[in-house]
């Protein structure tokens, strides 16, 4: 597949996600799931205790905004996850879709074996 076609497909996917986020109802499985719950699910489903980065800050502080690679708004809402080369392996949890303010997600150079999570578009 050429780079141009791939870029067009990614742009279309991004547009669909934005549209779904603006018009669709909240992801129903998120009822009662806090941002900390979603991040804990990420940690455990990607073998967090074996990460080469971040394992010394994740789950330690009750404030997820203090965890390495977690970026928050001024209102302490998770807006970004920058977790490249963390040594993650496994599958991304659907609970990532329960981070309503997430604007960027960087997971490159990890060993994740999951397709794109549809819930991230919700």
Interval 63-112: pLDDT, tens: 999 999 999 999 999 999 999 999 999 999 989 999 999 999 999 999 99
Dihedral sign computed on CA atoms, order 76, 77, 80, 85: positive
For residue range 36-66, list pLDDT tens digits in order: 999 999 999 999 999 999 888 999 999 999 9
Other CB atoms within a 10 A radius of the CB of residue 77 amount to: 14
Tokens coding 101: 């303010």
Distance CA 118, CA 27 (A): 10
Edge-first strand listing for the sheet containing 70-72? 70-72, 78-82, 104-106
Q: Which of 44, 53, 115, 114 lies closest to 82, judged by CA?
A: 53
CATH of 3-121, one of 3.80.10.10, 3.20.20.140, 1.10.238.10, 3.40.640.10: 3.80.10.10
Distance CA 76, CA 71 (A): 9
Give the residue extent of every domain in the chain. Answer: 3-121
CB 104 within 8 A of CB 80: yes
Q: What is the pTM of this model?
A: 0.73
Average pLDDT (2-25) is 50
- Does the pLDDT value for residue 23 go beyond 50? no
Other CB atoms within a 10 A radius of the CB of residue 14 amount to: 11
- Does the pLDDT value for residue 15 go beyond 90? no
What is the reported pLDDT for 17? 57
Q: Higher model confidence: residue 7 or residue 107?
A: 107
């Amino acid at each position: 597949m050429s780079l141009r076609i791939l870029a067009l497909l990614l742009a279309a996917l991004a547009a669909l996600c934005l549209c779904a986020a603006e018009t669709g109802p909240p992801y129903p499985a998120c009822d009662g799931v806090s941002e900390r719950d979603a991040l804990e699910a990420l940690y455990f489903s990607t073998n967090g205790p074996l990460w080469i980065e971040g394992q010394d800050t994740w789950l330690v502080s009750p404030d997820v905004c203090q965890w390495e690679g977690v970026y928050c708004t001024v209102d302490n809402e998770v807006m970004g996850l920058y977790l490249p080369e963390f040594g993650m392996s496994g599958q991304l949890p659907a609970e990532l879709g329960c981070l309503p303010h997430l604007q960027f997600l960087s997971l490159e150079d990890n060993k994740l074996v999951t397709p794109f999570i549809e819930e991230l578009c919700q």
